[in-house]
Amino acid sequence: MLTHRRWESLDRGNLGWLRAKHHFAVSAAGNPAHAALGPLIVWNDDEISVGSGFPMHGHRDMEIITYVRQGLLGHRDTLGSEGTIHTGDVQVMSAGTGIRHAEFNHGEVPLKLYQIWLLPREAGGEPTWDTKPFPKSDRSGRFVVLASGFDGDEGALPIRADARVLGAMLKAGESVQHELGSARSAYLVVASGRIEVNGEPVGPLDGVAITKVAAARISALEDSELVMVDAG
């Protein structure tokens, strides 16, 4: 089954310096049709103004994956970690027993990013942070695992959830097939471009929940950048 979550149907927030669209309902007042998908509970499409960002704040018992779509993301936390994450790159934070961090626009253009929150397998554990570049050329015509909670996904950033985060770059006319099986589900977002998923047209910035199907056949109608969570 495919459930298309079109850009215009997503809940939104606007703090002036932060404009956000929510693929999953983040409050009781949110779109009731946009419920969690297994361990995947948050997927925010954030735009942060130049010179702005999230001040120091805390998390615990959450796996937080950030995919930078445009600009430079600056990060610092109470572990002493600091980093700058570039367009197309990924950071992961396992909040565990608790971590405080700040994130800010470190560039000269609006910062656009996806923030993806996954429930961990188990509560607790030491908090960790990491980041890694993922050249878009390596994802040409195929999905690459960017972050994973499973053994055997070499090169992926480790997370503590039963899920994988994947990215792909497809040229117009290219297709890929992602095997799922009836017990697994996935959520796919079109960061740019236009695609079809099992024949369903999906436009730029839209999302689609994929459940109870053996496989998802994804075909690019134009050059497209894709990010997907396989919910395990």
Q: Domains of the chain (ranges plus CATH)?
A: 2-230 (2.60.120.10)
As given in the structure block, the two tokens for residue 209 are: 């929940």
Q: What is the pLDDT of residues 107-161, one digit of tens each?
A: 999 999 999 999 999 999 999 999 999 999 999 999 999 999 999 899 999 999 9
* pLDDT at residue 30 in the model: 86
Query: Could you give the angle at the alpha carbon of 227 between the alpha carbons of 17 and 4, nearest 5°?
Result: 90
Helix, strand, coil % in the chain, rounded to nearest 5: 5, 55, 45
Confidence of residue 27 (pLDDT cuts 50, 70, 90): confident
Confidence of residue 21 (pLDDT cuts 50, 70, 90): very high
SS3 147: strand
Amino acid letter, residue 149: G
> How many CB atoms lie under 10 A from the CB of residue 94?
23
* pLDDT at residue 17 in the model: 96
Mean pLDDT of 172-196: 94
Contact 220, 193 (CB under 8 A): yes
Q: What is the pLDDT of residues 52-74, one digit of tens each?
A: 999 999 999 999 999 999 999 99
Mean pLDDT of 176-201: 94
Report the side by side order of strands in the sheet with 185-192: 2-5, 207-211, 185-192, 224-230, 164-170, 143-148, 157-158
C-alpha distances in Å from residue 90, one per residue of 68, 86, 115, 174, 205: 7, 8, 10, 24, 18
Contact 210, 17 (CB under 8 A): no
| Average model confidence (pLDDT) across the chain | 96
Determine the Cα–Cα distance for residues 113 and 199; give it in Å rounded to an integer.
28
Mean pLDDT of 85-103: 96
SS3 126: coil
Residue in 52, 40, 77 with CA at minimum distance from that of residue 165: 40
* pLDDT at residue 182 in the model: 75
> Which residues, including other chains, have CB under 8 Å from residue 147's CB and lie 6 or more apart?
65, 90, 92, 156, 157, 158, 159, 164, 165
Q: Examine the pLDDT at 232 and tell me if it is beyond 80.
A: no
SS3 149: coil
